[in-house]
Amino acid sequence: MKDDTDEQVWRAVQRGDDDAFACVWDRHYARVLRHLRRLSRDAPDAEDLAAMTFLEAWRKRHKVRFVDASLLPWLLVTATNLHRNAARARARYAKVLARVPPPPSPREPTEHFERAQLDPGLRHALSTLTAQDVTLLLLVALEGLPVNEAASVVGLRESAARKRLSRLRARMQADGDVRNIVEGARS
């Protein structure tokens, strides 16, 4: 089969001979892949398109055309067309993505307090804290996480988180209305 022309091998492919199709693959895959790599400059993309080229050859096995008893020109034209289709699809996808509005930005932890039904004194006290302190306080006092876990969530060492909570407790205990939430933050 190796000495046969592409046309002769392709007749066996049309009869369903797997070895004949493997022979065509072996003969032309490297050339098709090189061609697609020149077109796309993206190796994984080129490999996918090369495989799709041979899939198209299989799908259209009764309609392929030979040039001087070679299947290679048909494969290269098919590969080029698949590359163009893929490029158009990527362009369409990019246009659609450009029209999609960006996701809303993540809210600061203090925004949750603004909408919650909190005592005005507590709301004011919490609004003066940094986002990291509010998150730490929320996780420990309201969510009940251990200090070491809350510290890792906010990006602190446990000792630093304990110091921050202690300072927050001292700062916020001056206001009697805040005592309940701070008591939950004891470590």
Please give the tally of structural domains in the chain: 2
pLDDT at 175 over 90: no
The reply to whether 92 and 44 lie within a common domain is yes
The residue that leads in pLDDT, 172 or 39, is 39
Per-residue pLDDT tens digits for 36-53: 999 987 888 999 999 999
Please indicate, yes or no, if residue 1 is contained in any of the structural domains.
no
What's the CA gap between 72 and 24, in Å, rounded?
9
pLDDT tens per residue across span 123-160 = 677 777 888 888 888 888 777 889 998 888 888 999 99
Q: Which residue, of 81, 99, 117, is where some domain finishes?
A: 99
If asked whether residues 37 and 13 sit together in one domain, one would say yes
Q: pLDDT band for position 56 (50/70/90)?
A: very high
50 and 90 housed in the same domain? yes
CATH for 79: 1.10.1740.10
Tell me, yes or no, whether 10 and 95 share the same domain: yes
Residues of the domain holding 127: 109-183
Same domain, 137 and 68: no
Same domain, 21 and 84: yes
* Inside any domain, residue 66: yes
